[in-house]
Structure 1
Amino acid sequence: MKKILLIAGIVLFSFTVNAQDEKQNNQEKQEKVNDFSRWKVRLRGVSVVPNESAEIGVIGGDIDISNAFIPELDFTYFFTKNFAAELILGTAKHDVKAVNTAAGDVDLGSVYLLPPTLMAQYHFYPTENKIFQPYIGAGVNYTLFYNVKSGAVADVSYDNAVGYGFQIGFDLMLSDKFFINIDAKRLFLNTDVTVDASNLAPGLSIPAKVDIDPYLIGFGVGMNF
Structure 2
Amino acid sequence: MNTLSSTARWALLAGLVLAGSAQAESSPWTLRLGPANVRFSTDAEVSVNGARVPGANAEASSNTTLGFELAYALDPRWTARLLGGIPPTTTLTGTGALAGTGTLGKVTYGPLAGTVTWNLLTDGPVRPYLGAGLNYTVVFKSRDGFIANLDAKSAFGTVLQAGLDLPLSDRWTLSLDARKIFVKTQADGVLPAMGGAAAHADVRLDPLVVFLSLGTRF
TM-score by length of 1: 0.78
Q: Tell me, what secondary structure is at the counterpart of 1:51? A: coil
Partner of 2:152: 158
Q: Tell me, what secondary structure is at the counterpart of 2:193? A: coil
> Is residue 217 of structure 1 aligned with residue 210 of structure 2?
yes
Partner of 2:128: 134
Shift, 1:105, TM fit: 2.8
Give the counterpart of 1:178 among 167, 172, 178.
172
List per-residue Cα deviations over 1:150-207 (Å, max 9, x = no partner): 113322111211111111111101111111111111011210111211x222340111
List per-residue Cα deviations over 1:120-168 (Å, max 9, x = no partner): 11123264xx332211110001111122111133221112111111111
Partner of 2:75: 80
**Count, aligned residues:** 190
> Is residue 119 of structure 1 aligned with residue 115 of structure 2?
yes
Shift, 1:35, TM fit: 9.3
8 Å contact kept, 1:189–1:213: yes
Partner of 1:25: none
1:28-43, aligned counterparts within 5 Å?
37-43=27-33
8 Å contact kept, 2:84–2:113: yes
- Runs of 4+ aligned structure 1 residues displaced above 3 Å come to 34-37
8 Å contact kept, 1:126–1:132: no
RMSD over aligned Cα, in angstroms? 2.1
1:48-127, aligned counterparts within 5 Å?
48-58=38-48, 59-60=53-54, 61-90=56-85, 91-101=87-97, 104-125=100-121, 127=123
One-letter identity of the residue aligned with 1:86: R
8 Å contact kept, 2:57–2:98: no
Structure 1 unmatched runs, 5+: 1-33
CA distance in 2: counterparts of 1:83 and 1:104, whole angstroms = 49
Give the structure with the larger strand fraction: 2
Q: Tell me, what secondary structure is at the counterpart of 1:176? A: coil
CA distance change for structure 1 residues 69 and 35 in 2, over 3 Å: closer, same or farther? closer
One-letter identity of the residue aligned with 2:139: F
Q: Tell me, what secondary structure is at the counterpart of 2:194? A: coil
Partner of 2:181: 187
Q: Tell me, what secondary structure is at the counterpart of 1:190? A: strand
Shift, 1:219, TM fit: 1.3
8 Å contact kept, 1:63–1:97: yes
CA distance change for structure 1 residues 79 and 150 in 2, over 3 Å: closer, same or farther? same
8 Å contact kept, 1:140–1:163: yes
Q: Tell me, what secondary structure is at the counterpart of 1:104? A: helix
List per-residue Cα deviations over 1:84-119 (Å, max 9, x = no partner): 210111232100022222683342121111121110
